Amino acid sequence: MILTHLHFDHAGGAVSLNKENTLIPTFPKATYWSNSVHWESAIHPNIKEAPSFIKDNFIPFQETGQLKFIPFSDSEYQFIPGLKIRFLHGHTTGMMLPVINTDNQTFIYCADLIPTIHHLSLSYIIAYDIQPLQTIKERNEIIEEAIINNYVLILEHDVDHACIKLTKNESGKVQAIPYNLKI
């Protein structure tokens, strides 16, 4: 299980209560993947992020030995064939974006970099971003790359648009085109 970051709304389902009312990993046979840079910021959070890092959501899989770290990189890291990890720092230090390559399509799981289509505008950020200007830079890079390469963006927090492709209209404004996954 790749945890893009350990904020409560992204890691909260990674643990469950057992019959003894003890928190245990939800998936007892899974490996939970983070990275050491982000892990340190979650274990020793800054004052702004402290309420978002609820340690009960992620300490249990460290205690069971199910936690592993993806090697941190300033560029993409090839995790397994067809899956790269991109590291970002605007929303939270060391957030990971999975980049999934299939035979005919590339998907980017945007986590909180682009939570909804409303965040395609570079001027709209979320209050949780610890470095808003870095978020804008990172978001712009992903948007431009997605337009050029016809990527599908997976939006975690958008209830109406789970997957989109991007284009620009005649005036250069970025527009979302709904994309339906065929499973």
Residue 75: pLDDT band (50, 70, 90) is confident
Where are the chain's structural domains?
A: 1-71, 73-183
Query: Does residue 176 carry a pLDDT above 70?
Result: yes
Pairing of strands 152-154, 106-109: parallel
Give mean pLDDT, residues 162-168.
Answer: 97
Question: Superfamily for 73-183?
Answer: Ribonuclease Z/Hydroxyacylglutathione hydrolase-like (3.60.15.10)
Angle at 123 (CA atoms; ends 48, 163), nearest 5 degrees: 90
Residue 181: what pLDDT? 76
Residue-averaged pLDDT of the chain: 96
pTM of the model: 0.94
Residue 183: pLDDT band (50, 70, 90) is low
